[in-house]
Chain A
Amino acid sequence: MKKSKRLIAGFMASMMAASVLAGCSSKPAESTQGQTAEAPATAEEKGEPVQMTWLVGATSAEVDDNAEVVKMIEDRFNIDLKAWYVDSNKYQENLNVRFAGGEMPDVLVIDNLSQLPDYVDGGIIGELPIEEIREKAPNYAKIADQYDDGSLWSTLVYKGKNYGVTNPMDAVPMAMFWRKDWLDKLGLEVPKTLDEYEKVLTAFVEQDPDGNGKKDTAAMAERTFGAVFGAYGLRCVTGGNPRFKVEEMQLGEDNVPYFPYIQPKAKEVLAKLHDWYTKGLIDKEFITGENHGGYAWLSHSFMNGKIGLTSAQPYHYLNASTDTKNEENWGVCMKEFKGLNPDGDIVIGPAPIGPDGQSGTEGWNLTGRMTCLTTKGASDPRIVDAFLAMLDAYYSDMDYARLVNYGLEGKHWKMADLGPIRIMEGTDLRKEGVLQVDFGSTVNFAENVTPQKRKFGHEVTGNGYYRFNAPPVEEVSNVIATLDSLTNQAYFDIITGAKPIDYFDTFVEEFKKAGGEAAEKAVQQAYAEKIAAVK
């Protein structure tokens, strides 16, 4: 069975080479050093390195062939490593244009599962059978099995075939950040339940926590909405922008996905949010968002003392411990916050516990970093082998994992009390070959390479409503914009009071009628099929 696959693969490879040579008259992307890639994909001599091109995302850069890290990777796996640079401005358009020209990398990371059908049907992503993954990347397979909640192996399955690898990520849900100096001034403790939250938030509004004599503070804005929904068991999140992400469905306890936005409980949450809005607890300007430009995770409302509570990933503010006095521990947002408020302080609190004892904040995918082989890569067995070897090494050899993720100590990172800190960033770092062939912060990577960060992240956060990789179905993509408009308009209007709370029932009917009901069913069915296919 495998031998014939090799034959077919070899045949396909020569066909591809022929068509590429015939159709494509463009030069391959030149590196800034002016070197051109030469080695053909089907090298005859044994031991000759095979050229392998990676594209991990919008921040990729072309690698410097002479960089030490690049050489180390190349030597280990007998490859000639190249990376694509695709402008992150209009990333998808740029990729489309390259594909149209007949070019593609060997390895491609897709960041949205909904792209999978288009990539597969479009002939861009090639099949990678699960048996082959298990055979050639056993360490990866072991850890993947360990963290499999039943859905990991089926994530990249489409029409019965598997198209890549999904990684178990060390996902940490959002943390709640309070203005500690405000709490101290008003003599308040960090609240735990939803009612306690309300008391503290009210105090923020009524008792002038910034001491300027004016009642000009609200208490929270749109980034905290997720936590309030979480107190009722729902995952209705805004991400960093003031817009609910209707396309993100929730996976129920019974392993059945659904749209959280039309659940009856959502009505209760909206009522509470509206109540808080009228009491001034929610900043009226939440509509234009907490962020006013620049780095997306900054909360200008929070930094400028308009609100006293915000939500973000732990490491946005603090790297690896709750110590807010250690400047080395400060994340990007903390640095900016301190720049504006030298005497201010923050503290991380738990997500609010709702009336039924539920709580939690949004998390990103527990399984992510979906890495696929393109049809070009998949057609060359040497590339497939090299890829799986690199995958396995990332899960078995922690020094290698740190090398490709952080680089060389002293040059690209240094060891501090709290773990490794990068000293080189951006494209410079990537040119050196770092962050070009890694698989992100997987579970075992985080455990072994950044243990303090991982420990800290899980300590300060609680239950996470992790993002669910919904299988892409046409019923959803056809109506998602409509559902999005319906939901966001309804939710915003109800919260601000532009529409009464009972409008929610009308909204649910409209949502279902507009295709929401059919979409939900389609996803449920597709997901059930996916799980069954892998069993």
Chain B
Amino acid sequence: MTAVTAKGKPVKKGFLYNMSHYKEYYIMLIPGILFFLVFCYGPMYGLVIAFQNYYPLKGISGSPFVGLKHFKALFNDPFFVSVLKNTLIISFYKLLICFPAPIILSLILNEIKCMPFKKFAQSISYLPHFVSWVVVSGIIIEFLSPSRGPINILLQNLGFESIFFVAEPKCFRGVLVLSDLWKSIGWGSIVYLAAVTAVDPTLYEAAEMDGAGRIKKIIHVTLPALAPIITVMLIMESGKILNDSFEQVYNFLTPSTYSVGDVISTFVYRMGIQKMQYSFTTAVDLFKNTISFILVILTNYVARKTNDYALW
């Protein structure tokens, strides 16, 4: 369709040529781009609040500029390193466990042939996504209670000591990760299921002819078909490494577990005890988002070099 150079890359043409040649495509793009321009880039100037002592009434033009004051306040805090460490470690554990889980679930559901059960399991699996952490944490804390929780009652009957999971620093991150797994596995599997069901059945037939059993089919047909979507999801997940689920951690956190569980957002929340910290939270968000964006660019670059699938 387009002329190519000796290396096979498309020849770069002028702007007007591009516009006219691809006219319909660009017209199709107009509503979407307009949306992003107006509603996402429109308010983007608000980022400057991170560098001000913002007073809502005075607005951006009326509020004093303070440069990197908020960032310095964050980085110089004695607890920043510990809080950052916790955020990274917890995100890493979640990446390790909660990222593959929906993929595996989609494979499992795909293998289930009994349609009623499959539909039932599917529908049930994503219900936890809709329940807020306030409710979920209440249930989980009760479930893990050292005196009343089933797990500890079982432990006691077996002669062991009961464990106060939620308050024990050694177990706390595990509680966070596993509860997140419970909550997100179903909803996260939806996108993989869509990809799995779109796999061409003739590929399975071909694999069958080559003597592949069920497991080999999964490895050689289903997984490769999922590779593009997994790559995309992985790139985006890696960008979230500094994000933490405030709602989740806040509802589980106690001073006994600050050392392992206090994350950036809960710490910043406590910093807001005394002041209206609008600009400070904006600064923290900007910091987190910048790191996320850089990570996404990096992982996207790596993805592009190693295979064909990437974000752009």
Contacts and interface: CB of A to CB of B under 8 A. Distances in A.
A123 B73 CA distance: 25
Interface string A84-122: 000000001000110110101000000010110010011
Interface string A470-487: 001000111011101100
A517 interface: no
A123 B78 contact: no
Contacts of B13: none
Contact of B164 (A216, A244, A284): A284
21 contacts: A102-B57, A112-B274, A115-B276, A118-B276, A123-B62, A124-B55, A242-B254, A285-B145, A285-B164, A287-B254, A288-B166, A292-B138, A477-B275, A482-B79, A484-B270, A484-B273, A488-B258, A489-B255, A489-B259, A492-B254, A498-B256
B18 interface: no
Contacts of B254: 242-243, 287-288, 492
Contacts of B147: 216, 284-285, 306
B59 interface: yes
A97 B134 CA distance: 25
Contacts of A121: 55
B180 interface: no
A476 B274 CA distance: 8
A122 B56 contact: yes
B190 interface: no
B57 A122 contact: yes
B56 A293 contact: no
Interface of B: 55-59, 62, 73, 77-79, 134, 138, 141-142, 145-147, 164, 166-167, 254-256, 258-259, 262, 267-268, 270-271, 273-276, 278
A247 B57 contact: no
Nearest to A493: B256
Contacts of A216: 147
A340 to B, nearest CB: 15
A247 B274 contact: yes
Given A293-B138, A306-B147, A481-B273, A123 B58 contact: yes
Q: Most A CB atoms within 10 A — which of B57, B147, B270?
A: B57
Contact of A477 (B55, B57, B138, B274): B274
Contacts of A243: 254-255
A122 B255 contact: no
Nearest to B268: A481
Interface of A: 92, 96-97, 99-100, 102, 104, 112, 114-115, 118, 121-124, 216, 242-244, 247, 284-285, 287-288, 292-293, 306, 472, 476-478, 480-482, 484-485, 488-489, 491-493, 496, 498, 514
Nearest to A304: B148
Contacts of A92: 276
A308 to B, nearest CB: 15
B57 A99 contact: yes
B73 to A, nearest CB: 7
Nearest to B275: A477
A287 B256 contact: yes
Contacts of A478: 73
Contacts, number: 105
Given A285-B145, A292-B142, 18 more contacts: A97-B56, A100-B59, A115-B275, A121-B55, A242-B255, A243-B254, A243-B255, A284-B164, A285-B146, A477-B274, A478-B73, A481-B77, A482-B77, A482-B79, A488-B255, A489-B256, A489-B258, A492-B254
A288 B56 contact: no
Contacts of A472: 274-275
Contacts of B55: 118, 121-124
A481 B258 CA distance: 12
Contacts of A242: 254-255
Contacts of B166: 287-288
B278 A492 contact: no
A382 B262 CA distance: 51
Q: Most A CB atoms within 10 A — which of B142, B145, B270?
A: B270
Given A100-B57, A122-B56, A514-B78, A287 B274 contact: no
A102 B268 CA distance: 27
Nearest to A244: B255
Contact of A485 (B138, B267, B275): B267
A327 B258 CA distance: 43
A417 to B, nearest CB: 38
B224 to A, nearest CB: 46
A477 B272 CA distance: 8
Nearest to A114: B274
Contact of A491 (B59, B255, B273): B255
B71 to A, nearest CB: 14
Nearest to A480: B274
B256 A492 contact: yes
Q: Most B CB atoms within 10 A — which of A92, A123, A288, A514?
A: A288
A163 to B, nearest CB: 15
Contacts of B57: 99-100, 102, 104, 122-124
A13 to B, nearest CB: 16
Nearest to A96: B56
Given A242-B254, A489-B258, A498-B256, A118 B275 contact: yes
Contacts of A292: 138, 141-142
A242 B141 CA distance: 14
The 7 closest A-B pairs by CB, nearest first: A122-B55, A488-B255, A99-B56, A481-B271, A100-B56, A492-B255, A477-B274
Contact of B78 (A102, A124, A482): A482
A473 B167 CA distance: 34
Contacts of A493: 256
A481 B255 contact: no
A270 to B, nearest CB: 13
Q: Most A CB atoms within 10 A — which of B259, B275, B278?
A: B275
Given A216-B147, A293-B138, A514-B78, A481 B58 contact: no
Q: Most A CB atoms within 10 A — which of B56, B58, B145?
A: B56
